[in-house]
Amino acid sequence: MTIFITGIICAIVTGGIGYLLLPVLRALKAGQSIREVGPTWHNSKAGTPMMGGLMFILGTIVCLLFNLGIVQDPTVYYALVLGLCFGAVGFVDDYFKLKHKRNLGLTAIQKALLQMAVSAIYLYLLYMQGTLTGDIYIPFVNTTFHLHPILYIFFAMFVMVGCVNAVNLTDGVDGLCASVTVPVMVFFTAAAIAMGKWDVALLPACLVGGLIAYLFYNWHPAKVFMGDTGSLFLGGIVCALAFALDMPLILMLVGIVYIVETLSVILQVGYFKLTHGKRLFKMSPIHHHFEMCGWKEVKIVLVFSAVSAVMCLLAWIGIAGRV
């Protein structure tokens, strides 16, 4: 019941923060610059306030601090700090975009190095407290195999950096990233509860409420965008929870939309180079392909969110032997 109430409180707090924050972002002229290579009809979104991710970030912090006295497992705060560190990288990126008035912030190498450093620190903390076992749990077959600690660390860092940036790529259509991530957070809440990790369950429960409240501002037509501040924070939390529950491979199921978005970019670039200018998709990431095919933004969000929800349900079946 505490977890359910916390989620509701986070929704209310996030909604209130959004009500106060939106006028501030508008006053600061913290408007989004639209990529020149994006769909032409996205040009009308230029000037929409960004950094809206601060709504659910601050809402989550407030609600977890509210539960500070009853939380015994520090893992939940390690996960939150990881998300905040990734969010800080996104904030710096957003700041440079706003400062230079173009849709380019930190370089890919700068982002990657910062993200790897943050990931390494989080993994070290989990290892020191004994949460990180080096065992790779395989869903459905209910078995594990062990990796050497050094190999596991490199594997984990690769997964975390890749996942965080995959979530970032998903934030390209009004309401898409938040809507896709809600079922993911519901899954992690249920999984943590089933595993008896009630404290850890508070974090995704907060984000279920926070993201739903955020969608009131971000649903098409969006009044605000989460920016890299929000999307990198969400990516960090998704990764943090997968490793906190010691089941990183579950990201292949619950994060299927993120993965497909990333693969569409990789395939597009690879095919373009191999064929000397031909394109596999009309535009990547793949949500833009569907836009070019005539899908409305709301349809894309609903279909992608449904896929995310179905895959999260499948993931729940896959970990039945674990929980």
Q: Are 239 and 163 in contact (CB under 8 A)?
A: yes
Those residues whose C-beta lies under 8 Å from the C-beta of residue 266, and which sit 6 or more positions away, are none
* CA distance linking residue 229 with residue 179, whole number of Å: 17
DSSP-based three-state secondary structure for 21: helix
Give the pLDDT confidence score for residue 135 in this predicted structure: 84
Residues in the chain: 323
Q: What is the dihedral of CA 218, 63, 229, 211, to 10 degrees?
A: -30
Q: Which helix (H) or strand (E) holds 143?
A: strand 143-146
Angle, CA 146 vertex, CA 145 and CA 149 arms, to 5°: 155
pLDDT interval class at 120 (50, 70, 90):
confident
CA atoms 216, 238, 310, 260: torsion sign: positive
Give the pLDDT confidence score for residue 133 in this predicted structure: 78
Give the pLDDT confidence score for residue 39 in this predicted structure: 66
**Tokens standing for residue 139:** 């869903």
* pLDDT over 70 at 22, yes or no: yes
Those residues whose C-beta lies under 8 Å from the C-beta of residue 35, and which sit 6 or more positions away, are 42, 103
- Average pLDDT for the chain: 89
* CA distance linking residue 114 with residue 112, whole number of Å: 6
Average pLDDT over residues 118-141: 84
* pLDDT over 80 at 91, yes or no: yes
